[in-house]
Structure 1
Amino acid sequence: MTYRYKIATVFLLGFFIDCINIFMSAIALPEIAFSFSASQSQVAWVANAYILGLVLVMPMSLWLASQLGNQKLLCYSMLLFSLAVWLSGVSNSIYQLIFWRFIQGMAGGLLIPVGQALVFALFPNNERQRISTLIMSVALIAPAFSPAIGGVIVDTLSWHWIFYANLPLSLLTALLAWVWIKRDERKAREKPDLIGLLMISISLLCLLLTFSFYNDYHNLLLAITSFVFSALVFIIYLQYAKKCREPILNFQLLKNKNLCNAFIVYYAVPGVFTGVNLLNIFNLQTNLGYNAAQTGLFMVLYALGAVISMVIGGRWYLRAGKKRLFIIGVTLHSLGIFILYWVSSSSQLNLLILAYLLMGMGGGLSANTAQISSLIDFKGKDLLQGSVLWNINRQVAFSVGTVVLISIFSLTTFSSDLICYQYTFLIASVLGLFSLISVVKEK
């Protein structure tokens, strides 16, 4: 195996671990909610805390890599991740679990942008499409098999083992990083902008708290105040970043249309899907009578549809163009969610199968096209900054999609939970289509 494929293997393993932490743990959320007597909104923080940890540390990862070296950073991050995984598994309260998930996020956030920047530097120009397709393949394998495996683990053991199951992979990744990655010298790099990092973290935290204040405490005034404060801090950061020589997140890169549209599509497709998937996990288990293992198997159908569309999309990217692929992908994804609106009993298995296949096809095509096009115009320093920005956006999209869909579900006031789920899916199918406004405008 050549050196660049060794680097790619380490990154893809770390990326796979990151993906299964979203989808495998989601299968366990109903069991976790029951174990700790927590609401859907509260257990959503098991994912949100992970995202916050990522956001906090990702902008610092490149500077830490320059201080420690790529080898030590990638190895140590996976060792810290392994410790946090174990402590998540032994948690005996929802608050302990949320805290250790936050530490998990910090550890995972060190590997992803550094690993991706290293890989993209070794696969430049036209070769970028090849490695981007590999990245998205991993992003689809994880949601395909980890929920099904996670469901079996929950049904036969307990939700604690959802976290213990990460240990072999995270320790293997740490070992390979130490053995395969060449030791590099420390490089001079300015310290990260801690003031900017603080503002970004506060803004995101307040945004997520907005939905918790409303969903859990039903305090509209507090929710609005939190949202306004989040927006105000973010606006202040944007003004601050214009005067900062090395801003922690360079949002000026979003002037690039490829990156901007990839951002928007990621919220509309993977982001919306994460919220829909979480709600449907609860719906399938509490209203339709499926167990955790059966619920996890639906993600295999999602991955099957995604693989089919990715193979087609990867071959037709240059011929058809990203605009056409985005339109097809977003439309198929929304159609799949719309079909969930019609599912009212476990006997409608054919509709569930069709829904997950279409969501997979649309999600795979849209996400793969976004991954290929997002950083294709960047090199050097802009590539490093773009990698951090893109990976933070990818994670934030998952979290925002979850809290928004849970809030929509909470706002529904129908006679039964099943109908509330159905109308939430109907709204979600429409939300995704709004991204086409930006896509269609692009020349």
Structure 2
Amino acid sequence: MTYRYKVAVVFLIGFFIDCINIFMSAVALPSIAHDLHVTTSTVAWVANAYILGLTLIIPLSTWLAGRFGGRATLTASMLLFSLAVWQCGLAESFHELVFWRFVQGLGGGLLIPVGQALTFNLFQGEQRARISTLVMAVALIAPAISPTVGGAIVDSSSWRWVFHCNLPFSLIAAGLSWRWIERTRPGPLARPDIQGLLLVGAALGSVLLGLSLYGGDYPPLAAPGCLLIGIACALGYARHYRRCDNAIVELSLLKSRNLSTSILIYYAIPGVFTGVNLLSIFFLQDSLHFSARSTGLFMILYASGAFIAMLACGRFYNRLGARCLFVLGLLLHSAGIATLYAVDSAADLPLIVIAYCLMGVGGGIGANTAQTTSLMDFSGTDTHKGSVIWNINRQMSFSIGAALLLMIDNVLRAHLGSPRAEHLSFAIAALIGLLPLLRLSRTLPRPPLPRPTLKEKRHAQSPR
């Protein structure tokens, strides 16, 4: 095996581990909430803590790799990940579990951007398209199989093994990183923007905490207080950004209409779906009495729809443009969520199948189009800076979507009870998912149309 494929294998193993940790643990949340005696909105921090750790370490990953080398960074990240997943499985309290999930996110967040950069630098031109296909395949396979496997583990054993089963993969990735990745010498580096990182982390963490506390059995001022702290930290970063020459998040890039619209779409589709899927897991298991394994099987339908959408986007993006695909994705995705509103019992299985298929196709169209469109306006160093914003947005959309939908369900449950609260939450989520249509009333810049081939020119010129 050549060196570049060895690097690719290490990256793909780490990427696979990251994907399954987001979706596999979600199926176990009802069991975790029951065993550790926490509410539905509180247990979401099992996912939030992991994603928050990922988000905070991503901006520092490039500096750490430059300072200590890719080999040491990747190996250390997987060893840290291994320690964290083992401790997650041994956690005796909910706060202990959340802490180790945060540490687990720090480990995973180091491997993904560093491994991706090493891999893509070794694959150029048409070869990069091949490795991108493998990355997309992992991104579809992991969400498809991990909820089913996680559900089977929960049904047959314990939610703790959902975390322990990651250990062989992470240790293999650590060993291969140390054995296969070449040692590099550190070069001169600018000092990282630690103050900016702390302000961004405090803003994101406070907003998530405020959404989680709202409507629960907490002091009345707890939730709005956290939200105000989050807003204050965000304003503090905006002020810091104007004074800092090497700010960790380059806010000026948000003037790009393609990037800002793609960010909005990601919150409305993958972000909203994360919250809807979490509500659906509790609804299906607690109200309709589906097993954890059966609940996980529905993600196969979602992944199948997303796969079809990925193929369609690759073929029609240049012909239709981002705006048309965004509108189609938003409508299909919200139609799938609205279908869940009509589900009242386990006998409505066909409706659940239709809902997940529609959400998969619509979500796949929207997410793939956003991924393609987001960095279209940038080149050179701006591409890397835009990538930092995009990856932070991508991770935080999952957490904010889940926190927002759980907050809505928490408030409605206090007045309506279950399952009426879930039904109304699905309806509200469908409406939230359509909000970007207001921004799409203006036409987005279209990509240049592909030049016709010689064969196509001859065909156009031939007499009919």
**In 2, Cα distance between the equivalents of 1:324 and 1:98?**
41
Corresponding residue for residue 430 of structure 1: 431
Larger radius of gyration: 2
Corresponding residue for residue 288 of structure 2: 288
CA contact (8 A) 2:212 2:406 kept: no
CA contact (8 A) 1:116 1:387 kept: no
Question: Residues 16, 440 of structure 1: CA spacing in aligned structure 2 closer, same or farther, 3 A cutoff?
Answer: farther
Corresponding residue for residue 8 of structure 1: 8
CA contact (8 A) 1:32 1:43 kept: yes
1:249-272 CA-to-partner distances (Å, cap 9, x unmatched) read 222222223322221111111110
Residue 358 in structure 1 maps to residue 371 in structure 2: no
**In 1, Cα distance between the equivalents of 2:122 and 2:366?**
25
Matches within 5 A, 1:90-105: 90-105=90-105
1:378-432 CA-to-partner distances (Å, cap 9, x unmatched) read 4443233333322221111100001000011112155440111011000001111
Corresponding residue for residue 451 of structure 2: none
CA contact (8 A) 1:128 1:372 kept: no
Question: How big is the shift at 1:124?
Answer: 6.0
Letter in 1 for 2:317: Y
Question: Residues 425, 126 of structure 1: CA spacing in aligned structure 2 closer, same or farther, 3 A cutoff?
Answer: farther
Residue 404 in structure 1 maps to residue 404 in structure 2: yes
Corresponding residue for residue 258 of structure 1: 258
Question: Residues 99, 2 of structure 1: CA spacing in aligned structure 2 closer, same or farther, 3 A cutoff?
Answer: same
Q: Which secondary structure state, in structure 1, belongs to the residue aligned with residue 214 of structure 2? A: helix
Letter in 1 for 2:202: I
Higher alpha-carbon deviation: 342-351 or 129-138: 129-138
Corresponding residue for residue 194 of structure 1: 194
1:34-55 CA-to-partner distances (Å, cap 9, x unmatched) read 1011101211111111122122
Letter in 1 for 2:439: S
**In 1, Cα distance between the equivalents of 2:441 and 2:120?**
28
Letter in 1 for 2:342: W
Corresponding residue for residue 346 of structure 1: 346
**In 2, Cα distance between the equivalents of 1:440 and 1:202?**
34
Corresponding residue for residue 301 of structure 1: 301
Corresponding residue for residue 316 of structure 2: 316
**In 2, Cα distance between the equivalents of 1:132 and 1:433?**
30
Q: Which secondary structure state, in structure 1, belongs to the residue aligned with residue 366 of structure 2? A: helix
**In 2, Cα distance between the equivalents of 1:322 and 1:397?**
20
Matches within 5 A, 1:141-180: 141-180=141-180
CA contact (8 A) 1:53 1:104 kept: yes
Higher alpha-carbon deviation: 409-418 or 31-40: 409-418
CA contact (8 A) 2:14 2:173 kept: yes
Corresponding residue for residue 421 of structure 1: 422
1:153-201 CA-to-partner distances (Å, cap 9, x unmatched) read 0000100000011112212222332333332221211121111111111
Residue 78 in structure 1 maps to residue 78 in structure 2: yes
Q: Percent identity?
A: 51
CA contact (8 A) 1:322 1:369 kept: yes
Question: How big is the shift at 1:132?
Answer: 4.8
**In 1, Cα distance between the equivalents of 2:216 and 2:89?**
25
Corresponding residue for residue 210 of structure 2: 210
Corresponding residue for residue 336 of structure 1: 336
Question: Residues 279, 216 of structure 1: CA spacing in aligned structure 2 closer, same or farther, 3 A cutoff?
Answer: same
Corresponding residue for residue 107 of structure 1: 107
CA contact (8 A) 1:70 1:114 kept: yes
> Under a length normalisation based on structure 2, what TM-score does the superposition of the two structures give?
0.90
Question: How big is the shift at 1:238?
Answer: 1.3
Unmatched 5+ stretches in structure 1: none
Question: How big is the shift at 1:89?
Answer: 0.6
Letter in 2 for 1:363: G
CA contact (8 A) 1:375 1:383 kept: yes
**In 2, Cα distance between the equivalents of 1:274 and 1:265?**
14
Aligned-residue CA RMSD in angstroms? 2.0
> Under a length normalisation based on structure 1, what TM-score does the superposition of the two structures give?
0.95
Higher alpha-carbon deviation: 33-42 or 116-125: 116-125
Corresponding residue for residue 457 of structure 2: none
Corresponding residue for residue 51 of structure 1: 51
1:106-156 CA-to-partner distances (Å, cap 9, x unmatched) read 111111222233344445678766655543432222211100000000000
**In 2, Cα distance between the equivalents of 1:129 and 1:384?**
19
Question: How big is the shift at 1:247?
Answer: 0.6
1:250-303 CA-to-partner distances (Å, cap 9, x unmatched) read 222222233222211111111100110111100000100101011000111111
1:58-82 CA-to-partner distances (Å, cap 9, x unmatched) read 2211111111111211121011101
Unmatched 5+ stretches in structure 2: 446-464
Question: Residues 373, 10 of structure 1: CA spacing in aligned structure 2 closer, same or farther, 3 A cutoff?
Answer: farther
**In 2, Cα distance between the equivalents of 1:127 and 1:252?**
33
1:335-372 CA-to-partner distances (Å, cap 9, x unmatched) read 10010010010000000000000101111121122222
Letter in 1 for 2:431: V
**In 1, Cα distance between the equivalents of 2:318 and 2:373?**
11
